[in-house]
């Protein structure tokens, strides 16, 4: 109880402080104040009633070696700058292009990476009134405007992306719940389009445009109920993941226009979605304050993460920190050089090596390589969370002693008041890698997760962790413990890495509200494996099924770090080679230097300053 009280008292002030650095397994990430981008006057934007700030990047392969370009929207304004990242300070006085719109606001944008050059880039911009604009911010030209008369859709554009591998096709989603496929070479009609049904499935339909000549839109998708908040193409461009306000993740085969699989949020709408680098996992976040990991191959939820205290606005995988290691030395068929790539934590060589090694895995392999996925999330609670998806989650049927990195996996059952969690940790070092594996035996587990955990492996040296108050209080029940070392038990409800236990039926709680933690929904369904396809819209009937497992039926991830990094809600999280980029609704785009990158840049700058000083002395 004393430890719990100290943790509660000591955490309050720290939680309200805005962090300028944080520490993970790799080292220290630092906020680079000189690399902050915003409106030229650097005045915080009054965000009341405006659309979220969004950021897009493109590399134009400039011969100067500084080919990165950044685009961001703040209110009615759209900016296009040279992005200098960790290398040099941002010069906000010289935007390449700046646009101010009247009567409508930019809501999202996307560069065509295939056609980008130092002389020309193609940038799509979606607007709050439903239009989509194609502009070239380098040439400062506006080439085309789609849905200009709002005959196709009058609702806000929620997401716009170029179709992977295409120089002319792009996809647009709207708050109406519809998506449209456009071709930049075609025009929009002068009258409202007429549609013909192409394909129809459960809670979705796809129509083609009926006209004598080809015109936009080529296809119209109607998906779910309510707004279609975001979509993301798989790394190979063949599949499309969509998240909607009705709380469903729907994954389509894009070319075949067929539904591959679905998942339901624990509560409320889903707001964001992303794919793992190898396309095998999808992470979604939303109004349930959770991040949910869904297996593309198995079409099921494999884990949830709870660290945010409000809606999750962005999720993203870090391709540069996702690690690949051998699980069995005799199974490795690559060269020594490939193996050495594991030691390169950052850079394109590491990313390419990871991509190629991930591609060796398939659903029939027992596990030729060991993989740890890193992903991040930001939310309306102004917090940044980083997560590791490790082997104990991906391969629950294997002994946990073979894991390479540490992820706290906590079951959702609360212990009696005053119970202390004791973690017995063991460190294993394999293949000469000094990142010890930490495995835990939990005598009891809690729903309360630490809001801040700077060192992911620090718990291995701790003798105890404490429990705290939480908005979710459950009824009593038998609490058992122990890690499953044997084969995975049959049934969806038995694949968590911690032993599961029977509990009393949870009661109805108050509806979920902003800045509240996740609510519970009671269910009368006794068959957790019964996929109630005809009652998907009823949350009480989807809870406890494959669509939406109960909280105690899947592992609950603890964030590696959970830090408050802004005054206003966060709207952007992008992982780059030498930094990660965040943005808040005040209009500030922040660059966080990766471990080892900041010192290198600072040393170069200091050397240049000394050199300049020497020249001045000589004069």
Identify the band that residue 114 occupies on the pLDDT scale cut at 50, 70 and 90: very high
Q: Average pLDDT, stretch 509-524?
A: 37
- Does pLDDT of 329 surpass 50? no
pLDDT of residue 325: 65
508 Rama class: left (phi>0) / alpha (psi -120 to 50) / beta: beta
Q: How far is CA 165 from CA 216, 370, 529, in A?
A: 20, 30, 39
Distance CA 13, CA 36 (A): 26
Distance CA 94, CA 590 (A): 18
Residue 285: helix, strand or coil by DSSP? strand
Distance CA 35, CA 82 (A): 11
Nearest to 282 by CA among 332, 245, 243: 243
| Angle value at C-alpha 367, between 365 and 373, nearest 5 degrees | 120
Identify the band that residue 370 occupies on the pLDDT scale cut at 50, 70 and 90: confident
| Range in 181-190, 222-231, 270-279, 508-517 with the lowest mean pLDDT | 508-517
Identify the band that residue 211 occupies on the pLDDT scale cut at 50, 70 and 90: confident
Which DSSP helix (H) or strand (E) runs through 314?
strand 312-317
pLDDT of residue 539: 67
| Range in 64-78, 278-292, 482-496, 528-542 with the lowest mean pLDDT | 482-496
Higher pLDDT: 536 or 181? It is 181
pTM (predicted TM-score):
0.72
Identify the band that residue 416 occupies on the pLDDT scale cut at 50, 70 and 90: very low
pLDDT of residue 503: 34
Cβ neighbors of 219 (< 8 A, separation 6 or more) are 180, 181, 198, 206, 207, 208, 209, 257
| Range in 137-141, 317-321, 425-429 with the lowest mean pLDDT | 425-429
Distance CA 267, CA 519 (A): 7
- Taking the alpha carbons of 341, 343, 344, 346 in that order, is the dihedral positive or negative? positive
- Does pLDDT of 438 surpass 90? no
Alpha helices in 149-214 (DSSP H): none
Higher pLDDT: 350 or 163? It is 163
Residue pair 294/301 in contact by the 8 Å Cβ criterion = yes
| Range in 368-372, 379-383, 477-481, 599-603 with the lowest mean pLDDT | 477-481
Distance CA 436, CA 426 (A): 9
pLDDT tens track for 545-600: 999 999 999 999 999 999 999 999 999 999 999 999 999 999 999 999 999 887 54
Beta partners for residue 314, in sequence order: 378
Q: How many CB atoms lie within 10 A of CB 507?
A: 10
Identify the band that residue 471 occupies on the pLDDT scale cut at 50, 70 and 90: very low
Most confident range, picked from 126-135, 410-419, 427-436: 126-135
- Taking the alpha carbons of 455, 458, 462, 468 in that order, is the dihedral positive or negative? positive
Distance CA 186, CA 288 (A): 41
Q: Average pLDDT, stretch 18-24?
A: 95
Residue pair 275/282 in contact by the 8 Å Cβ criterion = yes
DSSP characters over 332-358: --S-HHHHHGGG--SSHHHHHHHHHHH
Identify the band that residue 483 occupies on the pLDDT scale cut at 50, 70 and 90: very low
Which DSSP helix (H) or strand (E) runs through 338?
helix 336-340
């Amino acid at each position: 109880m004393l430890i719990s009280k100290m943790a509660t008292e000591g955490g309050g002030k720290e939680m309200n402080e805005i962090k300028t650095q944080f520490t993970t397994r790799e080292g220290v990430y630092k906020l680079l104040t000189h690399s902050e981008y915003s409106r030229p006057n650097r005045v915080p934007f009054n965000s009341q009633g405006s659309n979220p700030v969004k950021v897009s990047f493109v590399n134009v392969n400039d011969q100067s070696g500084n080919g990165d370009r950044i685009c961001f929207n703040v209110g009615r304004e759209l900016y296009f700058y040279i992005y200098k990242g960790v290398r040099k300070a941002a010069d906000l006085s010289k935007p390449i292009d700046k646009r101010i719109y009247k009567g409508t606001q930019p809501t999202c944008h996307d560069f065509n990476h295939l056609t980008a050059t130092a002389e020309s880039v193609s940038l799509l911009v979606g607007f709050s009134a439903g239009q989509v604009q194609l502009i070239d911010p380098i040439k400062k030209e506006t080439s085309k405007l789609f849905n200009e008369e709002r005959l196709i859709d009058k609702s806000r554009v929620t997401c716009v992306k170029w179709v992977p591998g295409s120089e002319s096709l792009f996809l647009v989603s709207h708050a109406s719940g519809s998506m449209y496929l456009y071709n930049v070479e075609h025009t929009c009609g002068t009258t409202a389009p007429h549609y013909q049904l192409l394909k129809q499935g459960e809670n979705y339909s796809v129509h083609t445009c009926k006209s004598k000549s080809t015109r936009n839109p080529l296809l119209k998708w109607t998906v779910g109920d309510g707004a279609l908040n975001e979509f993301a193409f798989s790394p190979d461009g063949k599949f499309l993941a969509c998240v909607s306000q009705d709380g469903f993740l729907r994954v389509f085969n894009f070319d075949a226009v067929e539904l591959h699989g679905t998942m339901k949020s624990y509560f409320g709408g889903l707001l964001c979605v992303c794919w793992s680098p190898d396309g095998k996992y999808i992470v979604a976040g939303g109004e349930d304050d959770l991040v949910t990991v869904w297996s593309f191959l198995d079409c099921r939820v494999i884990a949830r993460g709870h660290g945010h205290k409000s809606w999750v606005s962005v999720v993203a995988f870090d391709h540069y920190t996702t690690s690949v290691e051998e699980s069995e030395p005799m199974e490795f068929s690559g060269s020594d050089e490939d193996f050495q790539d594991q030691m390169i934590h950052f850079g394109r060589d590491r990313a390419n090596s990871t991509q190629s090694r991930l591609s060796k895995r398939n659903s029939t392999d027992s596990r030729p390589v060991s993989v740890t996925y890193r992903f991040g999330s930001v939310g309306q609670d102004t917090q940044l969370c980083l997560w590791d998806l490790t082997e104990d989650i991906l391969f629950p049927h294997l002994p946990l002693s073979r894991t390479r990195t540490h992820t706290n996996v906590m079951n959702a059952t609360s212990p009696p008041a005053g119970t202390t969690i004791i973690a017995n940790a063991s460190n294993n070092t394999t293949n000469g890698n000094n990142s010890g594996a930490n495995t835990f035996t939990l005598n009891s587990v809690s729903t309360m997760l630490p809001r801040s955990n700077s060192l992911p492996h620090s718990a291995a040296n701790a003798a105890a962790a404490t429990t705290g108050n939480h908005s979710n209080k459950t009824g009593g029940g038998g609490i058992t413990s122990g890690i499953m070392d044997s084969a995975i038990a049959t049934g969806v409800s038995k694949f968590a890495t911690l032993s599961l236990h029977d509990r009393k039926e949870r009661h109805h709680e108050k509806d979920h509200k902003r800045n509240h933690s996740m609510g519970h929904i009671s269910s009368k369904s006794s068959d957790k494996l019964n996929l109630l396809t005809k009652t998907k819209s009823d949350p009480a009937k989807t809870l406890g099924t494959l669509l939406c497992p109960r909280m105690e039926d899947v592992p609950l991830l603890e964030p590696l770090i959970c830090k408050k990094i802004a005054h206003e809600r966060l709207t952007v999280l992008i992982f780059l080679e030498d930094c990660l980029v965040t943005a808040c609704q005040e209009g500030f785009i922040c660059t966080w230097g990766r471990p080892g990158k900041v010192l290198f840049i600072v040393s170069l700058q200091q050397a240049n300053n000394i050199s300049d000083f020497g020249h001045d002395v000589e004069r």
